[in-house]
Amino acid sequence: MISVWTDYNNRVEEINLYFNFLNNYDNKSDELFKIFKANGFLLIYNLIESTVRNALEEIHSSLNNDVLSYDEAIDEIKSIWIDFNYRKFKNLNAKDIASEINQIGQGIINVSYSNYIEKVRSGDVSGNLDKRKIEALAEKYNFKKNTRINGTDLYKVKNNRNRLAHGEVSFKDLGKSYEKNELNKIKRVCELYLKEMLLKIDIYIKEKEYKK
């Protein structure tokens, strides 16, 4: 998890530099300031998506390095492994499928996160990360959900990022809808929410909670 924490801290520092610039911007009534404020949502969402993606990659890497057999894994990890592998059954006859199933119990779970999302699109997090999605991922992998930080602000970040990305709203119009103090609060909540999530995933990996 060292690289995951390093990337998180680097991106938080990057966002803080931007918001320091925003907070000290001289002319807070001009059009450019509104655009700068809206751009803050892109930076925050970038932090959210990169942090979650890196953490999931770390879980998959830990599973692979642990040489975990199917029988040793918790049900949630078994489901992910089956979700990744079952598609090959479409090209097998009934006898071969039965043989494959008999071997699953002794098989080794080995799948990179990038291969997983390429094959199982529901595993991709691109553009749709908010509190609800992260909680769904916690259930999917069976790491503990956040309890201290209320992450409802993640909905605003995701929705506004997508509205900007899809051209549904201009940067200027979005920016004028948010005061500087509200943006600072949203930024801070998202940082703390992700930090709590990483702490829980760190424990999940160190304690090998993906094993029975």
pTM of the model: 0.90
151-183 tens-digit pLDDT: 999 999 999 999 999 999 999 999 999 999 999
103 pLDDT above the threshold of 90:
no
Bigger pLDDT: 15 vs 101: 15
pLDDT in tens, 19-40: 999 999 887 778 999 999 999 9
> Which amino acid does the sequence have at 206?
K
Q: Distance of CA 136 to CAs 56, 90, 122, 158, 199, Å?
A: 13, 28, 11, 16, 17
Q: How many Cβ atoms are within 10 Å of 165's Cβ, its own excluded?
A: 12
Token pair 């609060």 is found at 185
Strand positions, DSSP E, the chain: none
Q: Are 39 and 171 in contact (CB under 8 A)?
A: yes
pLDDT of residue 124: 72
Q: What is the rounded CA–CA span in Å between residue 128 and residue 182? A: 22
Residue indicated by tokens 């911007």 = 25
pLDDT digits (tens, 9 = 90+) for 111-167: 889 888 887 766 678 888 999 999 999 999 999 999 999 999 999 999 999 999 999
Residue 16's contacts (CB-CB under 8 Å, 6 or more residues apart) are none
Taking Cα atoms as reference points, which of 62, 5, 40 lies closest to residue 184?
A: 40
